[in-house]
Structure formats: C-alpha cells, structure tokens
Structure 1
Amino acid sequence: MKFKLTNDYIALGQLLKACDVVSSGGEVKYFLANCPVFLNGEKEDRRGKKIYAGDVVEADGIRIEVE
C-alpha cells in the first residue's frame, strides 16, 4: 500500500494507525512490543520514530511505501 505524506514526516505510531494496522493509538505500544516492524529492512520499535517520504515500513504482512 502507498501512504502520501501531507507534512515533512509522520511518526511510526501515527502511520500504523492511519494505515489501519492498529485500530487505536493505545494499541501501538503493545503492537510494537509483540509484532516485528521493519523500517527500510531494519527492525524498529520506537513509536515516535520519524518516517519520511521514500521510507518503507513492513508490519504484520503489510508493506507501506511512504510518498
């Protein structure tokens, strides 16, 4: 799936919520602790990590290309 940024960046937790990987912001911390999430091929577990255009996030079998 593709995600179009409206600002310079989006936090990882906000991206996961916006793409319906998690249903609420409260679930993000639990999700990151229990499901592997990869940012550009490297494991990432910080919900506040800034995601920029060109980044690729993979989580729970979903690939998100940020534009």
Structure 2
Amino acid sequence: MTDDDASSTELPIRDDMIRLGQLLKLASLAEDGAEAKALIDNGLVQVNGEIEERRGRQLHPGDTIRVNGATLRIVRG
C-alpha cells in the first residue's frame, strides 16, 4: 500500500462503470461539465497515476483518481 492509498477517499458507484466527467461532478470536484472539462484539459486529473485527457474515460471499481491533491478510489456501492 502506498501513501496515496492510505489517504484516499472511497467513492462508491452503483454501476460497474462511471465516466470521468460524471465522477468529478459526483465527488463535488467540479460543479458542471464545463468545469470538469477544464480540469481535464489543464492536465490536473490523473487516473491510476497517469494524466488523463478524456472526459469520457470509463472508470471502474479499483481505479484511483487524483485531482488537485485529492485522491479518490472507486468502489462498488
């Protein structure tokens, strides 16, 4: 377990998948789709340790997202 794993917040989802833009809104890291797009376009979003450039990226339980110092781990809800 890394330090990031220890300090991550679990974010439960109902389905097997959620898109990155939806997740940013669900986690209150973006107010709307435009803000989510801006975060992604500015390289401020990492998925599983790599900068992600696609707002429609499919995320699944076990994926880790890092935005502006906040780390989220998707879990099945």
Q: Identify the match of residue 27 of structure 1 among 25, 35, 38.
A: 35
Q: Once the 2 structures are TM-superposed, how far is the Cα of residue 5 of structure 1 from its aligned partner?
A: 1.3
1:10-49 equivalent positions in 2, closer than 5 A: 10-49=18-57
User: Whose radius of gyration is greater, 1 or 2?
Assistant: 2
Q: Once the 2 structures are TM-superposed, how far is the Cα of residue 29 of structure 1 from its aligned partner?
A: 1.2
Structure 1: segments with no counterpart, 5+ residues: none
TM-score (norm 2): 0.81
Structure 2: segments with no counterpart, 5+ residues: 1-8
RMSD: 1.0
Q: Once the 2 structures are TM-superposed, how far is the Cα of residue 33 of structure 1 from its aligned partner?
A: 1.2
Secondary structure of the 2:73 match is strand
Residue 54 of structure 1 contacts residue 66 of structure 1 at CA under 8 Å; is this kept in 2?
A: yes
TM-score (norm 1): 0.91
Aligned residues: 67
Q: Once the 2 structures are TM-superposed, how far is the Cα of residue 35 of structure 1 from its aligned partner?
A: 4.1
